[in-house]
Amino acid sequence: MSASPPAWTIAAQSPSRLGTVDVVTRFLKEQRCYITELNSFDDRLVERFFIRAEFRPEDDDFDVDAFSDAFASRADEFDMTFELTPPEARMPVVIMVSKADHCLNDLLYRYRIGQLPMDIRAVVSNHPDLEPLVAWHDLPYYHFPITPHTKAEQEAQVWRVIEETGAELVILARYMQVLSSDMCHRLAGRAINIHHSLLPGFKGAKPYHQAYEKGVKLVGATAHYINDDLDEGPIITQRVEAVSHADYPEDLVAKGRDVERLTLARAVSHHIERRVFLHAQRTVVFDR
């Protein structure tokens, strides 16, 4: 989440081969594009290469179509797939929430001040509680109640909103419902969830109160892509904060909320900036 001047971004991956860095950097030089940030990683265990470059064209008559076609031809020699993102691109997003407002409030604030380059198309919830907050931001709010008997119908309503808004990313900002296997597959690689990370692991009601009883010394949060295994999708970001015997349950809850919102915001930022590569059940993340 940087305030640096906007730049074009190219994110690519390929099998590990001699010249994979050169194919990107040499091409950018030939196209008179100045590289402002460059990250690469070669996974020697599976022989897979990842690279991300931010650049600015030196010439005013930059032709994106000609650039993309020329690089596609060059990349094809390396079996390289790539994504080219223009400056100031805003990713269309749908946010899903339940009753907790801390993550939603944080995302809306960062959206409002332009820190997260996203276009929030809708907020969806299984409760009506947060509609006033969303209405204050002049955004659509959809309340779709859910019961064990109406789960399929409710998810069909949610999916309709995602499709009709053209959302490329779905953010589960403390959405306290387990998505079905079908919904997880539909949203694979484009839905981010946030949950607490406590050791030992505490599940069920009031996890921070359970943590207090055990005398934990760290509270944390994990942001990850969703999959069929609850809270076990590919991890994007994690964050921890120290606590002590002087922190009561309400203190742990407050610190946990702060860690959750910061962790989620960074994961969303990384995804939008094309800093995350899904790599089997793992991720390659080029942090700033």
Do both 246 and 105 map to the same domain? yes
Quick one: average pLDDT of 112-141? 97
Residue-level pLDDT at 4: 61
Using the predicted structure, report yes or no on whether residue 160 has a pLDDT greater than 60: yes
Using CA atoms, how far apart are residues 244 and 248, in angstroms rounded to an integer? 9
> What percent of the chain is modeled with pLDDT above 70?
97
Residue-level pLDDT at 205: 73
Do both 79 and 129 map to the same domain? no
Quick one: average pLDDT of 124-138? 97
Q: How confident is the model at residue 211 (pLDDT cuts 50, 70, 90)?
A: confident
What CATH number did the domain enclosing 77 receive? 3.30.70.260
Domain-located, residue 1: no
Do both 135 and 157 map to the same domain? yes
Give the number of domains in the chain: 2
Mean pLDDT in the chain? 93
Using the predicted structure, report yes or no on whether residue 86 has a pLDDT greater than 70: yes
> What percent of the chain is modeled with pLDDT above 90?
86
Do both 122 and 102 map to the same domain? yes
Pairing mode, strands 91-97 and 118-125:
parallel
Do both 131 and 183 map to the same domain? yes
Quick one: average pLDDT of 54-64? 94
Q: What is the dihedral of CA 121, 127, 132, 134, to 10 degrees?
A: -20
Among 3-17, 52-66, 200-214, which range has the highest average pLDDT? 52-66
Q: How confident is the model at residue 5 (pLDDT cuts 50, 70, 90)?
A: low
Residue-level pLDDT at 108: 98
Tens of pLDDT, residues 242-267: 999 999 999 999 999 999 999 999 99
Strand-pair partners of 119: 92
Q: Which of 47, 70, 85 is the last residue of a domain?
A: 85
Residue-level pLDDT at 158: 97
Quick one: average pLDDT of 145-174? 96
Tens of pLDDT, residues 19-28: 999 999 999 9
pTM above 0.95, yes or no: no
Catalytic residue selected from 42, 43, 231, 258: 231
Do both 173 and 154 map to the same domain? yes
In contact, 271 and 192? CB cutoff 8 Å: yes
Strand-pair partners of 8: 55
Do both 63 and 80 map to the same domain? yes
Do both 97 and 81 map to the same domain? no
Quick one: average pLDDT of 208-221? 90
Using the predicted structure, report yes or no on whether residue 280 has a pLDDT greater than 90: no
CA dist 27 to 81, 273, 284, Å?
15, 21, 23
What CATH number did the domain enclosing 119 receive? 3.40.50.170
Pairing mode, strands 191-197 and 218-225:
antiparallel
Using CA atoms, how far apart are residues 242 and 158, in angstroms rounded to an integer? 37
Provide the residue range defining the domain that includes 81. 8-85
Residue-level pLDDT at 197: 85
Do both 145 and 274 map to the same domain? yes
Q: How confident is the model at residue 199 (pLDDT cuts 50, 70, 90)?
A: low
Do both 210 and 113 map to the same domain? yes
Q: Which of 29, 58, 85 is the last residue of a domain?
A: 85
Using the predicted structure, report yes or no on whether residue 1 has a pLDDT greater than 60: no
Q: Which of 30, 60, 85 is the last residue of a domain?
A: 85
Quick one: average pLDDT of 200-217? 84
Give me the count of residues in the chain. Answer: 288
Q: Based on the residue annotation, tell me whether 79 is a catalytic residue of this protein.
A: no
Do both 13 and 117 map to the same domain? no
Do both 95 and 79 map to the same domain? no
Domain-located, residue 100: yes
Residue-level pLDDT at 228: 84
Domain-located, residue 3: no
